[in-house]
Chains A and B, each alone.
Chain A
């Protein structure tokens, strides 16, 4: 596909997404999502199945597996546009993370067994990478898988496992060889969350919600057939997955959405009869965001194109992650400040029930919740510091 064609298709797709959002998106779901209310498992499953109905949930997969032959540019534009419209997050663990690992490295039986149910979100997946002792230094992970006949016996603890409380399956990095170099002793294992010995304990976070969990694994028996690819090659698959994790169009769309909302709020006439956006200091601050957004958007799309043509230098995914998340956080902070008293009033119950916040516009509570949650955006998926290490070492050779 030529780049010209890919760009045209991405443009058309964005228009299709806008039309879908206007015509086919259930009003209650859209309202909840636009007000950044807490979404529950059934909301997400409904959302993912809506997308699947359009063919979009796995459109980036190969066509023989139900994909639409999307280029990375289309996938990026798609995530970007959905986020701009304030649609829910596309839960990535199945369709974006483990799905591609399975169809790239998995056995025929694994493809047959898992992929169709990933596409339809009949199975909900979680990502079991991080451990108490292995955060940024993921390769130091210690959860052990030891062979016993036709099973692995898994012991250890995962942490920060998003939506483990809902998951049917968890893809895990486990250590199968203690003697080898840290990276080469790791394997990629698919764990049934209903297996005996799996315990999920929630970790409440400051946004008043539970996304993340501890997952304890005690003598969990996992059939050998749930090993993906080769034993000891898990790190390779993890790196393959990581690239998909970091090249997220939603980062751009979220920054756009937040900036758009900030501009709306700042343009409302306040009790003093003035519009905040007419105050020179705020106007200047928003202008700087707008300028940073222009840089982010151009750099991100050109980075995706470079990755498609093989013209990349290796730092592109880090660039999108660092600049997107840092800009989003600054915008979110400014928005909370513009909300004034409504930016410090907090009603967790209302967030869960879809009710109204104590003060301010109907999305004030949700804006706060997202502001809290996204303090983690510069930590998960490779912290900003780690991204800078990657650039310094991998790209600049320092």
Chain B
């Protein structure tokens, strides 16, 4: 499965134009302050742009987008710090439904996902299931604050320890207590407590959810690499602009070689981030062990490298670098969150090493 390069160019173009017109730093500020990290209007725009159907089969009006096509959109999600649940709902949950849900469930849920009327969030922390009722706590569910329904991982305590199954739960159902909070980058999340909550099993009895969850989490990790690439590019650009305009001691600060070499190191990281992102996108098509090695390698490398770029960007901006008013600090916070999502740096590094040595 590989998306036509022209389609990718189109997606990338329209995303860039859209974000520049409708989601610039000031417009985003409103979403951040008044919308608590979510804009219904933007969400409808994404549906119209086709982003919410990226991951869906063509038969459902989707694009069946590959890693590179998803990356084209995610890069813009990063460069403009879009806050709505493109990753959680349109990529991760859509991916899980496409891989695991029954035909009936797909026919019911996918059109609503594509037109934006259904927002899903994914709770990766395993819950317990007895008599089709869920119990347990999912402490950190990205966009759990605004999701209409949740996909949760549950163990029935019967089979093997890792025999996981996926269930669909209505976020507003009586057995679900939702405690919403914000992440450091302004996006919303929630702690969800399940007490004898009613749940609908995804798919038929004998499908192994573990393989599908691992594959979809790898897709999410790769999407985050692309998002971080968008951020790294933006940070390098902002920093170089600033080095040219900010004057101290009667000359632009960028004439100092101490800063030039640090900017050059940011460039090296940008190039590596782009190369590893592409490699990870290609690796999604490989058999699981090799896929895991490259995806985890990319996620681990980029997590630290991008943080280094953000640290340097703040440092070279001086005092304004730490202000709310400048996007640099917002990129910094987003990278913190992205490093933790879908596998921390250490977890991916350990997985990479395990498969390399």
Contact = CB atoms under 8 A, between A and B. Distances in A.
B275 to A, nearest CB: 4
Contacts of B300: 291
Given A263-B357, A286-B357, A299-B275, A396 B263 contact: yes
Interface string A284-305: 1011001110111011011100
Interface in B253-271: 254-255, 257, 259-261, 263-265, 267-268, 271
B25 interface: no
Interface in A251-287: 263, 277, 283-284, 286-287
Contact of A303 (B244, B271, B279, B349): B271
B301 interface: yes
A286 B356 CA distance: 10
Interface in B287-341: 294, 297-298, 300-301
A284 B345 CA distance: 13
A315 interface: yes
B267 A291 contact: no
Contact of A295 (B264, B275, B349): B275
Contacts of B263: 391-392, 396, 398
A319 B265 CA distance: 9
Contacts of A286: 357
Contact of A287 (B257, B264, B268, B353): B353
Interface centre among B264, B275, B352 (most CB of A within 10 A): B264
B234 interface: no
Interface in A355-376: none
B260 A392 contact: yes
Contacts of A387: 264
Contacts of A301: 275
B177 interface: no
A53 B17 CA distance: 56
A54 interface: no
Nearest to B237: A396
Interface in B229-254: 236, 240, 243-244, 254
B197 interface: no
A393 B297 contact: no
B260 A393 contact: yes
A382 B110 CA distance: 56
Given A299-B271, A398-B240, A398-B255, A291 B264 contact: no
A398 B275 contact: no
A388 interface: yes
B352 A287 contact: yes
Contacts of A395: 267
Interface residues of A, number: 33
Contacts of B244: 397-398
Contact of B267 (A294, A296, A396): A396
A277 B243 CA distance: 44
Nearest to A385: B261
B101 interface: no
A388 B274 CA distance: 19
B357 A287 contact: yes
B84 to A, nearest CB: 31
A63 interface: no
Given A389-B257, A389-B260, A319 B268 contact: yes
A323 interface: yes
Nearest to A393: B260
Given A299-B271, A393-B260, A294 B240 contact: no
B352 A291 contact: yes
Contacts of B271: 299, 303, 315-316, 319
B352 A388 contact: no
B148 interface: no
Contacts of A323: 268, 272
A322 interface: yes
Nearest to B243: A398
Nearest to B296: A291
Contacts of A294: 276, 279, 294, 297-298, 301
A387 to B, nearest CB: 8
A398 B264 CA distance: 10
Interface centre among A316, A319, A385 (most CB of B within 10 A): A319
Given A395-B267, A396-B267, A398-B244, A302 B275 contact: yes
Contacts of A393: 260
Nearest to B261: A388
A210 to B, nearest CB: 33
B272 A287 contact: no
Contacts of A302: 274-275, 278
B290 to A, nearest CB: 12
A290 B357 contact: yes
Contacts of A287: 349, 352-353, 356-357
Given A295-B301, A388-B260, A388-B264, A290 B353 contact: yes
Contacts of B276: 294-295, 298-299
Interface centre among A263, A283, A387, A396 (most CB of B within 10 A): A396
Nearest to B353: A287
Interface string A128-164: 0000000000000000000000000000000000000
A55 to B, nearest CB: 31
Nearest to B356: A290
Contacts of B264: 387-389, 391-392, 396
Interface centre among A294, A301, A303, A316 (most CB of B within 10 A): A294
A292 B272 CA distance: 10
Contacts of B297: 290-291, 294
A323 B263 CA distance: 15
A389 B263 CA distance: 10
A299 B272 contact: yes
Interface in B9-33: none
Contacts of A319: 268, 271-272
List 10 A-B pairs, minimum CB-CB distance, nearest first: A392-B260, A287-B353, A388-B264, A391-B264, A298-B275, A299-B275, A398-B254, A388-B261, A298-B279, A295-B272
7 contacts: A263-B357, A299-B276, A322-B268, A389-B261, A391-B267, A397-B240, A398-B243
Interface of B: 236, 240, 243-244, 254-255, 257, 259-261, 263-265, 267-268, 271-272, 274-276, 278-279, 294, 297-298, 300-301, 349, 352-353, 356-357
Interface of A: 263, 277, 283-284, 286-287, 290-292, 294-296, 298-299, 301-303, 315-316, 319, 322-323, 385, 387-389, 391-393, 395-398
